[in-house]
A = this chain, B = another copy of it.
Amino acid sequence: MADLPPHVDIFEEGPREGFQIEPGPIPTADKVALIEALAETGLRHIQICSFVNTRLVPGWADAEAVATGFRPKPGVHYAALWFNETGLNRALAFAGKLAISGSISLAASNAFSIKNLNRGHAENLEAMRKQTAAHQKNGVKVTRVGVMAAFGCNYQGDIAPELVVRTVADGLAVATEFGETITDVSLADTMGWATPTRIERGVAAVRERWPELRIGLHLHDTRGLAVANAHAGLRLGVTKFDSTVGGLGGCPFAGQKGAAGNIATEELALLCEEMGIDTGIDLDALIEVGRLAERIVGHQLPSELLRAGSLDAFRRKAA
């Protein structure tokens, strides 16, 4: 049996990723309630909103209201998302409440980059140079390279580990140009192409080249393999995962409307805790927050664990 890590850090993205795909507007108070409830479960990292163009993403027209409204809990790191200097500046207005650091965000698939960002990889690198300059100008460190579509792409098909390595290298080169030090690389299975084998190969290829970088996995459960993929990551010592409570999120990409969202935080936490890996999370409390998330969106979420309940509840009854 592989050595599993003693502890993992789970980055909850439900409040941010979960609501942008819901058809109806989610009241600001509900977003705030979810953020505050998540902070009571032992989660230490919560992404609370997107500072994005409100015409393109009307669901986040209330980003400022959410960032203003939530009561931060000491010891919890709150983060937000932005894609340009305007967004960065909106986030900086909450520098007292939010942990602000910069990312260089690329896609391993050029076809995805064109479809999703409306610019190819080369143009996207240029945009990342501008964004890195903007971060520097504002005194914000750039610490992370993110690679979308790292395990496959609806528009480009399979993605070889070599292409992921090349994409990470391109991102690191931008950081080097600006004298920024990258500590983290995030590999995202944006469209649900990963398998445990692909996770092993992708993580191994990046780690072999840059053993000093901390690798995080951002997994989607589009085809039901997210938990198996997380386990493959754990076996390789990956200790950083993004997830969403209840599996909030959905998949907005072509031909996958109605498909599942991110790996569910509570299923990831169950996997870890039941294998002796500490997450710091109170699973029963988190499951209750998953049920709150279902009430907020008004429909069942993909997480199976929300319906079955944790094992500890049964252990207590059986004892």
A10–chain B nearest beta-carbon distance, Å = 15
Contacts of A111 in B (CB 8 A): 318
- A234-252 residues with Cβ-Cβ distance < 8 A to B are 251
Question: How far is A267 from B196 in the complex, measured between Cα atoms in Å?
Answer: 13
Q: Is A227 an interface residue (CB 8 A)?
A: yes
Residues B251 and A315 in contact, CB atoms below 8 Å apart? no
Judging by beta carbons under 8 Å apart, are B157 and A260 in contact? no
Inter-chain contact B196/A275, CB cutoff 8 Å: yes
Return the chain B residue nearest A250 by Cβ.
Answer: B307
Q: A271-B195, A275-B197 are in contact. Are A222 and B156 (CB under 8 A)?
A: no
Which 10 pairs across A and B sit closest by C-beta, in order of nearness? A157-B318, A224-B267, A259-B308, A228-B228, A224-B304, A260-B304, A227-B228, A195-B274, A228-B231, A222-B308
B-side contacts of A230, CB under 8 Å? 228
The answer to whether A157 and B319 touch across the interface, beta carbons within 8 angstroms, is: yes
Q: Does A293 contact B (CB under 8 A)?
A: no
When chains A and B are docked, how far (Å) is the Cα of A301 from the Cα of B192?
19
A205 within 8 A of B: no
Which one of B198, B302, B304, B311 lies within 8 Å of A152 (CB-CB)? Answer: B311
Which residues of chain A from 281 to 319 have a CB within 8 Å of any chain B CB? 302-305, 307-309, 311, 313-315, 317-319
Q: Does A56 contact B (CB under 8 A)?
A: no
- Whether the Cβ atoms of A231 and B304 lie closer than 8 Å is no
Instruction: Flag whether A256 is at the interface (Cβ < 8 A).
Output: yes
